[in-house]
Amino acid sequence: MDRALRLTNAGRRYGFRGPWVIRNIDLHVTPATLVRVEGPNGSGKSTLLRLLARVDAPTEGRVSGRPRTAYVPERFPAALPFTSFDYLTHLGTIHGLTPPSARRAAGDWLDRFGASAHARTPMSQLSKGSSQKVAVAQALLAEPELLILDEAWTGLDTEARAELERAVAERTAAGAAVVFVDHDPRRLTGTTDAVYTVGDGTLHRRAAAGEGGGGGPSVGPEGPHTTIEVRGPAPLPPEAVGRATVTEGTADRTHRLTVPASHSDVVLRALLTARPPYHVVSVRPSDPEGPR
């Protein structure tokens, strides 16, 4: 069974003979890619994402492929009769986790997003920001093969926004596809593999900043970067090199990698779990004026 999702000549309109919102959409969402969808207000971005998440069906055309999918909708239904922890645990078991694994994943994700203090708070009493953390956690806890994020960063605090960027990098590193809409044009810039614009009812592909062919995740020069210096043998693990915008070998088996900040955790993990593991000499924000 093909696990990559594909839209073939898909179209959606609402109501009986309503105007077509999107039409003639052909899109193949391949594993291990990060895809941005952009377009003016009301152009049909959320409509497209709902088709990709399979929470809505096209009026014409086809959706094929059955990746394990998780979706953060633009508006999360927060007034659910659960506490945050019980809701996440419940969803974890629906996604196939055993009850102990679901409880562990629920606790871990609340912790990662700085929402542990609200674990026992009824969902209906959460602030908008905390409720958004639960919305994001519910999508991440089952390690989906396809993650659909509709303005998922909106309402999150600075730390949680950065954590979500890290979680996205982890998913693509693990081979998942991530499709996102975000009003901030700098979101995940430099690590996006493809950008599609919804306009005039259809989808146009434009070159992503990091696109250069060659397979694997592509990275570009924009956005905050981190410089990681490690000591160990050459060649460096492909997982680390593939995410770097610059790699330099220096004397004494020391290597310097410049990577998008949102990918630094993934690169560090690849280096630390290599056999033998690399010794990390330093990790610091890159000089924005320096070479990339």
Ligand X SMILES: Nc1ncnc2c1ncn2[C@@H]1O[C@H](COP(=O)(O)OP(=O)(O)OP(=O)(O)O)[C@@H](O)[C@H]1O
* Token couple for 218: 């592509």
Provide the minimum distance between the beta carbon of 74 and ligand X in the complex, in angstroms, as a whole number: 6
- Of the candidate residues 1, 16, 17, 41, the single one contacting ligand X (CB under 6 A): 41
**According to the binding rule CB under 6 A, does residue 39 interact with ligand X?**
yes
Q: Is 42 in the site for ligand X (CB under 6 A)?
A: yes
Nearest CA to 190 out of 114, 243, 265, 255 is that of 243
Question: How far is CA 187 from each of CA 21, 175, 179, 183, rounded to the nearest angstrom?
Answer: 25, 20, 12, 8
Name the β-bridge partners of 260: 225
User: What's the min distance (Å) between Cβ of 29 and ligand X?
Assistant: 18
For 119, counting Cβ atoms within 10 Å of its Cβ (0-12 exposed, 13-18 middle, 19+ buried), the class is middle
Write each residue from 47 to 86 as x if it is in contact with ligand X (CB under 6 A), else as -, in one continuous string: x--------------------------x------------
Residues 33, 35, 46, 130: which binds ligand X (CB under 6 A)? 46
Q: For ligand X, which stretch binds (CB under 6 A), given 39-47, 124-132, 223-231, 262-270?
A: 39-47
Is residue 210 involved in binding ligand X (CB under 6 A)? no
For the bound state, the minimum distance from the C-beta of residue 128 to ligand X, rounded and expressed in Å, comes to: 17
Whichever of 52 and 259 has its CB closer to ligand X, that residue is: 52
The least CB distance from residue 18 to ligand X, in Å, is: 7
Give the separation between CA 4 and CA 139, rounded to whole angstroms.
18
Q: Does 290 bind ligand X (CB under 6 A)?
A: no
36 binds ligand X (CB under 6 A): no
Q: Which two tokens stand for residue 187?
A: 């979101």
Residue 185 as a binder of ligand X (CB under 6 A): the answer is no
Residue 105 φ/ψ, nearest 5 degrees: -65, -40
* Residues contacting 21, CB < 8 A, separation 6+: 12, 13, 14, 44, 47, 201
Where does this chain bind ligand X (CB under 6 A)?
14, 21, 39, 41-47, 74
